[in-house]
Amino acid sequence: MTTIIDGKEIADRIRADVSDCAAHLADEGVTPGLATVLMSDDGASETYVSMKQRACEETGIEGIHRVLDPEASAETLLRQIDDFNDDPRVHGILVQMPVPDHVDSQAVLERVDPMKDVDGFHPENVGRLVTGNTRYKPCTPHGIQKLLEAADIETEGKDAVVVGRSDIVGKPMANLLVQKAPRGNATTTVCHSRTDDLAEKTRTADIVIAAAGVPEMITGDMLSEGCTVIDVGVNRVDAETEKGYELVGDVAFESASEKADVITPVPGGVGPMTIAMLMYNTVKAASLQSGVDVELP
């Protein structure tokens, strides 16, 4: 029988533990603070930022939220980041991605103080991740590691295929999978839009991580019997629902479930873990900056 990993339940457990750590910091006079910046009128980005705001309230993190006009200049966004870099209430800074086309996203990521970079996207933190000296693991890949751990999926010695090479998921995920740390030591292949025969690659995999942003691109016939499938896609597809869309993963769930032993659903799989690990990184940031130790899960 196929096991469907309940990401919401695992995320709730992690969030409860992170909340205890936040309470411990508060007892020591340190209230963890997360600043979010939204510079977009994209509906999905608005949803994610409001979920992050709510998670802050529920975790005991002070949320400071700024919405910038998507037409504003890049300089306005960079100045906002500078303000947060200088604000002692703020331990973590998150600029919701993507930013508008006229803004150089790399310049934005580089402007965030690396100690406050709870996304783990600053080059210093990327370099640390690649060399195995991680400060902040990017939230989605870290959440996937936690899902694998909770579902007792071993990665050591296994063949993993990551579909998608984004800076947010694909690249850091592949880097974590090849490291020696727990839920690493996997033989890892990264596939992308120029991969010649994707199905040939995914069929060799014990673990497939689908993060290409293409609805239902991974179908059952592309998978090996008994594999683990982690679906990172959260695609809004037009549908006759109240909202006018439904959420569809990068994996065709029905056909993939016939092959996979373990699979994550969309929604309720990887998504909730991204928010849980952001809370984790924010509390870690507050701990690192204050020198007050916490025992994160």
State the catalytic residue, choosing from 117, 119, 206, 231. Answer: 119
| Backbone φ, ψ for residue 62 (5° rounding) | -75, 120
Is residue 8 part of the annotated active site? The answer reads: no
Residues 52, 116, 171, 201: which is the catalytic one?
Answer: 52
Q: Rounded distance, CA 180 to CA 83, Å?
A: 38
Taking the complex as a whole, how short is the minimal distance between the CB of residue 224 and ligand LMY7XDAE, in angstroms? 25
Q: Residue 220, annotated ligand binder?
A: no
Residue nearest to ligand LMY7XDAE (CB): 271
Beta bridge partners of 230: 209
Ramachandran class of 29: left when φ > 0, alpha when ψ lies in -120 to 50, beta otherwise: left
Positions 100 through 129 that interact with ligand LMY7XDAE (CB under 6 A): 119
If one counts every other C-beta atom within 10 angstroms of the C-beta of residue 68, the result is 18
Is 60 annotated as ligand-binding? no
Among residue numbers 212 through 271, which ones bind ligand LMY7XDAE (CB under 6 A)?
Answer: 234, 247, 266-268, 271
Amino acid code (one letter) for 183:
R
- Which of 62, 59, 55, 99 lies closest to 80, judged by CA? 99
State which of residues 4, 23, 97, 214 lies at the interface with ligand LMY7XDAE (CB under 6 A): 97
Residue 166 annotated in ligand binding? yes
- Which residue, 30 or 118, has its beta carbon nearer to ligand LMY7XDAE? 118
Q: Whole-number minimum distance, CB 285 to ligand LMY7XDAE, in Å?
A: 14
Stretch that binds ligand LMY7XDAE, among 43-51, 157-165, 213-221, 282-290 (CB under 6 A): 43-51
Instruction: Say if residues 96 and 40 touch (Cβ distance below 8 Å).
Output: yes
Return d(Cα 120, Cα 114) in angstroms, integer.
Answer: 8
Active site residue 96: yes
Q: Is the separation of the CB atoms in 266 and 284 below 8 Å?
A: no
259 as an active site residue: the answer is: no
If binding means CB under 6 A, how many residues of this protein chain bind ligand LMY7XDAE?
A: 20
Q: What's the rounded Cα separation, in Å, for the pair 198 and 201?
A: 5
- Residue 265's nearest CA partner among 277, 247, 253 is 253
Contact criterion met (CB below 8 Å) for 147 and 264: yes
Could you give the CA distance from residue 195 to residue 289 in angstroms, rounded to a whole number? 42
Least CB distance to ligand LMY7XDAE at residue 11 (A): 8
Answer yes or no whether residue 286 interacts with ligand LMY7XDAE by CB under 6 A: no
Which of 80, 96, 179, 289 is an active site residue?
A: 96
Beta-carbon contacts of residue 137 (< 8 Å; ≥ 6 apart): 120, 129, 145, 172, 176, 277, 281
**Could you say which residues in the range 156-185 bind ligand LMY7XDAE, by CB under 6 A?**
168
The residues annotated with a catalytic role in the active site are 52, 96, 119
- Annotated binding residues, written as ranges, equal 164-166, 234
Name the site residues for ligand LMY7XDAE (rule: CB under 6 A).
Answer: 47-48, 51, 94-97, 119, 139-140, 168, 234, 247, 266-268, 271-272, 274-275
As annotated, the binding site for NADP(+) includes 164-166, 234
